[in-house]
Amino acid sequence: MELIFLGTGTSVGIPMIGCHCPVCSSDNPRNVRRRTSLYVKTDEVALVIDTPPDFRQQMLDFRIERLDAVVFTHAHADHIFGFDDIRRFNTLSGKVIPAYGDAETLADVRRVFNYIGNRPSPQGLYRPLVDFIEVPGPFQVGDIRFTPLDVQHGRKMTGYLMETGTLRVGYVPDCHAMPAATIKQLADVDVMILDALRYRPHPSHMCVEESLALLEQITPRIAYLIHLCHDVDHDVLECALPPGVRVSYDGLRVRLKAGAEGVEWTEEDAS
Task: Confirm if 183 and 217 have CB atoms less than 8 A apart.
Answer: yes
What's the pLDDT score for residue 54?
98
Give strand pairing partners of 158.
150
Is the confidence at residue 21, as pLDDT, over 80? yes
Phi-psi region of 94 (alpha: psi -120 to 50; beta: other; left: phi over 0): left
What's the pLDDT score for residue 266?
93
- Average pLDDT across the chain, whole number: 95
What's the pLDDT score for residue 126?
87
Is the confidence at residue 252, as pLDDT, over 90? yes
What's the pLDDT score for residue 66?
97
d(CA 79, CA 20): 25
Residues 6+ apart with CB under 8 A from 10: 33, 35, 36, 78, 197, 205, 227, 228, 229
d(CA 228, CA 199): 10
What's the pLDDT score for residue 157?
82
What's the pLDDT score for residue 13?
97
% pLDDT > 90, the chain: 88
Is the confidence at residue 261, as pLDDT, over 80? no
The mean pLDDT of 41-52, rounded to a whole number, is: 98
The mean pLDDT of 157-179, rounded to a whole number, is: 94
Is the confidence at residue 251, as pLDDT, over 90? yes
Is the confidence at residue 263, as pLDDT, over 90? no
Is the confidence at residue 10, as pLDDT, over 90? yes
Would you say domain 2-269 falls under CATH 3.60.15.10? Answer: yes
Residue-range domain boundaries for the chain = 2-269
The mean pLDDT of 9-18, rounded to a whole number, is: 97
